[in-house]
Chains A and B, each alone.
Chain A
Amino acid sequence: MSGAFTRYLAGRVFGLLMVILALSAVVFFLMHQVPGGPFTFEKQPLPPEQMANINRKYGLDQPVYVQYFKWLWAILHFDFGIPFQSPSETVVSLVQRAWPVTIIVGVITITISYTLGILFGITAAVWQNSWIDRVVTFVATLGLTLPSFIIGFLLVYFLSVKLRWLPTGGWGKPQQLIMPVIAYGLGPMAIVARYTRASMLEVLRSEYVRLARARGLPWHRVMFRYTLRNALVPLITVLGPSIPDVLTGSIFIEGMFSIPGLGRFFTSSAQFRDYPMIMAMMLLVALLWGATYIISDVLYGLADPRMRVGGEVR
């Protein structure tokens, strides 16, 4: 790794850290401006002294800027606080137990949906306008138009309630993954299938493929060496940004199937004014997206020499 590349990378990482620092301040101050707090109860209002006791207990009695600097100091020591939604553990331990669940669901979903999507796309392109193409197009259209929670509901209704084949949800058994992965994966699979089909058709019509065919190269060689390889390049554009999405989970899928992942905390933390979790989620998302863009840029540079400056990745 050359010095220019190291400087470039260091600059990008430093830039990301500055963005996160600014973002954390904005989010911290904004979330405290939203009416209501984590302990605004539904019944009778507590007298001010008793409300003060609660605020003191959770460190909410100090000025917001003091709270912010305390939070900043704490996270430098890897102390992200106690989540109000699960106060028997720390934010770190909550993320440690919930995030792997989300990642497992996400990785399985993306692996299966992308594999099937590519296969379906290729099949539909090779046998364009056949019944196979029409079936793939129909399934892809369903996947694109039906929201995941509708698909999930239908799966639960038919596979759990009517047929009793699968549990409605939960975590820990392989069969509990089937419906979430289908509901979560149908959309990405449809997108990949449509992209692959369109890209394949474009490449199949290109001159160099026609030339390869005209030269009498075997079908499989034309398909895999010339067509597929080039047709799949645009998929990187689709795959890259979807990774942070998948790694942070789906509130609908995790809720519907009672998956103890991280996804639902993105909305519930805001809804219930869970300040430590809001900040932790913000950091996680910012880091993931920031890292994804840095890695993507580096990979682009590695893959395409035109992206380099002075022979280095930029």
Chain B
Amino acid sequence: MAMRDSRFDRRQAIRGLAAGAAGLAGLSGGRAFASSRFQVGSDAAPADQQVMITSWDGEGLKGECMDLYEGVYNRAGLSDLFSEPLTRMTKDFGVIPGTALGWDCSADGKVWTFHIDPNLKWNDGTAVTAADYVETFRYSADPKHAWDFTWYWNGIIKNYTEATKGTVTLDQVGVRVGSVPTDFEVETVDPVPYLPAMMLYSWPLNKVALNKYGSGKYNINVSTSVTSGPYYLAEWQPDRRFVVKANPKYTGALKPNITTQISNVVRGGSNFLRYQANEVDSTEVTSPAEIALVNADPELSRQFATNPQDFRTYYMFFDINTKPWDNLKLRQALAKAVDREGIIDAVLRPLAIPAYSWLAPGFPDANQEALKPIQAFDPAGAKRLLAEAGYPDGRGFPKTTLYIRGSAQVDKDVCQALTAGFKQVLNIDLTLENLDQPSFMAKLNAKPTQIAVGWLSYGMDYFDATNMLGVWLSGGRHSWKNDEFDRLVKQGGVMTTEPAKRSEMMMQAEKILVEDCVGIFVYHKLAGFLYKPYLKGEILTPNSFGYTGLQWPGFGTATLAIPQLYISNDVSKFR
């Protein structure tokens, strides 16, 4: 296939990171990466053994579709393999071209043109064009479709929010075909220098199929499914399993080595046991008990990899409109009473690093070391602040409940450690209460919020500080309101020039957040994965930050994992 000559190397990755993620695009960028760069080893198993088996947790409101723009939370296993996004992410978190060979932006920073590879084809023989992307984005804004992730483009794409409300027509949404059929133009409300990073979520549906069937659900039926991605749908049984196979008509850059992917549907049980029984090739290790077993087993330890995935931060938050949490000294006292290292040692290691601020190390504009002293463990300081807040030695401290979202054992363990620490350092008692997710989020989102003190986490959707910091903007997830914070994030977010100043504004915003102790940031999650020894490839090797395993967003078309992963001959010892 004709693609621009290019090779993947670290410098390019770093350039991609700088250009796409940190918003320095210079308003143009991107170069394609030839899949021929990624050769499998001589130890590769024959094609008929290139079968990867995983499990998919089908518990919940899932299994409705296979495409992000049909539904985010209700997708099934092995989704988003039937088309490709405009951009991708390298394992070093650099944003690089996907189906777009490159992109340009107008002088005012508001009109972006993504140049789609003209060689891309759907498996019905028609070309992948900008019209597919336009139709998909319009479909996502359609009030009748009621897409569950509209917030992602709200206030970003021109008229998108208005279209979801039905106040403008769908053809007024700021997406259109450019001067040639493969130019996809996006008009934004304000300059959005991180738009290429956001386009990681831009898998198009097939325009013809979408119009013919009225929704993206044509991709859950083998006979109607259409693909331009590296795989096609071979089996769709939401109660049993999903199977995709290598698309023989694929013309893109992610030529797969794995010829078949099987995703077995599970609802409960232990994936760790399934992994040990050689029934799945990879699994996430989540519980402290499983971590202990991995640590105790040299063979499992060799198969274990950790990385930050979506740079998730776990934190305790306060509704500062509720007494006594409007008292800054009280919040500071609690923040300084948290022995993060001790909690991680006792409960989480090696699946966490201590958090003293919101943005995890490695994330754009993260500034952990500089911010660390603000919430660092300081028992004496915590006691003093508590006394100054009006509760000397915990006397008079009101009855307080710390609400936990869900019932994950790890959350219970960490919160028990937190409350034990508060008791030990400050002599105050907090009661724990678990709420299932719908109840918790309903109470949290109520106006005014019904949760004064809670335990939560948040992980990124796109690699820019505005994404994570946006959680704390007024009117967002929490009741906290700080005009200066809002100004810094909003004004910094639209800056297309002066990257250093933009970065500085993001850091200032985060400092305000940390100093105000509206959240006690406890740990950044590291996801732990087991990979069978026969899973091999460059994508599993450590990245430039030292993290191992498949980085976020995993084995799909938004990364370079597909051409870089293969199954070696060793598989015959296991299957």
Closest residue on chain A to residue B64 by CB atoms? A87
How far does the alpha carbon of A34 sit from the alpha carbon of B220 in the complex, in Å? 32
List residues 2-56 of chain A with CB under 8 A from any CB of chain B.
34-47, 49-50, 53-54, 56
Interface residue count on the B side (C-beta < 8 Å): 55
Are B151's CB and A44's CB within 8 A? yes
Are A38 and B240 CB-contacts (below 8 A) given A57-B144, A161-B277, A168-B269?
Answer: no
How far does the alpha carbon of A88 sit from the alpha carbon of B64 in the complex, in Å? 6
Are A44's CB and B441's CB within 8 A? no
Are B60's CB and A46's CB within 8 A? no
Are A171's CB and B437's CB within 8 A? no
List residues 247-289 of chain B with CB under 8 A from any CB of chain A.
264-270, 273-274, 276-279
A119 at the interface (CB under 8 A from B): no
B342 at the interface (CB under 8 A from A): no
- Across the A-B interface, how many residue pairs have beta carbons closer than 8 Å? 157
How far does the alpha carbon of A57 sit from the alpha carbon of B64 in the complex, in Å? 15
Closest residue on chain A to residue B459 by CB atoms? A43
CB-defined contacts of B363 to chain A, threshold 8 Å: none
A92-126 contact mask (Cβ, 8 Å, vs B): 1 or 0: 00000110000000000000000000000000000
Are A168's CB and B264's CB within 8 A? no
Closest residue on chain A to residue B150 by CB atoms? A50
Nearest-neighbour CB distance to chain A for B328, whole angstroms, equals 26
How far does the alpha carbon of A82 sit from the alpha carbon of B279 in the complex, in Å? 32
Are A37 and B438 CB-contacts (below 8 A) given A98-B239, A168-B269, A260-B265?
Answer: yes
A314 at the interface (CB under 8 A from B): no
Which of A198-206, A231-239, A265-273, A299-307 contacts its partner?
A265-273
Interface range for A? 35 or more
Are A50's CB and B146's CB within 8 A? yes
How far does the alpha carbon of A302 sit from the alpha carbon of B565 in the complex, in Å? 69
Are B264's CB and A271's CB within 8 A? no
Are B146's CB and A36's CB within 8 A? no
Are B279's CB and A37's CB within 8 A? no
Are A56 and B146 CB-contacts (below 8 A) given A37-B442, A156-B270, A260-B240?
Answer: yes
Are B276's CB and A50's CB within 8 A? no
B28 at the interface (CB under 8 A from A): no
Closest residue on chain B to residue A166 by CB atoms? B277
Closest residue on chain B to residue A260 by CB atoms? B239
Partner of B269, one of A57, A87, A164, A257: A257
How far does the alpha carbon of A43 sit from the alpha carbon of B477 in the complex, in Å? 8
Are A36's CB and B437's CB within 8 A? yes
Nearest-neighbour CB distance to chain A for B571, whole angstroms, equals 16
CB-defined contacts of B61 to chain A, threshold 8 Å: 38-39, 84-85, 87, 272, 274
Are B268's CB and A85's CB within 8 A? no
Are B60's CB and A272's CB within 8 A? yes
How far does the alpha carbon of A276 sit from the alpha carbon of B336 in the complex, in Å? 47
Closest residue on chain A to residue B60 by CB atoms? A272
Are A264's CB and B146's CB within 8 A? no
B512 at the interface (CB under 8 A from A): no
A152-192 contact mask (Cβ, 8 Å, vs B): 1 or 0: 01001100110010011111100000000000000000000
B438-453 contact mask (Cβ, 8 Å, vs A): 1 or 0: 1111110100000000
CB-defined contacts of B239 to chain A, threshold 8 Å: 86, 97-98, 260
Are B442's CB and A40's CB within 8 A? yes
Partner of A46, one of B151, B277, B405, B440: B151
A258 at the interface (CB under 8 A from B): yes
Nearest-neighbour CB distance to chain B for A88, whole angstroms, equals 6
Are B165's CB and A258's CB within 8 A? no
Partner of B146, one of A54, A167, A260: A54
Closest residue on chain B to residue A170 by CB atoms? B264
B90-103 contact mask (Cβ, 8 Å, vs A): 1 or 0: 00000000000000
Are B270's CB and A153's CB within 8 A? yes
**Would you give 7 A-B contacts (Cβ < 8 Å), ordered by A?**
A37-B442, A47-B154, A57-B145, A160-B273, A171-B240, A254-B267, A260-B240
Q: Add 18 more A-B contacts to A45-B477, A167-B277 (CB < 8 A).
A: A38-B61, A40-B438, A42-B437, A45-B445, A45-B476, A46-B148, A47-B161, A50-B151, A53-B164, A86-B239, A156-B269, A168-B277, A257-B269, A258-B266, A264-B59, A264-B267, A268-B60, A273-B438
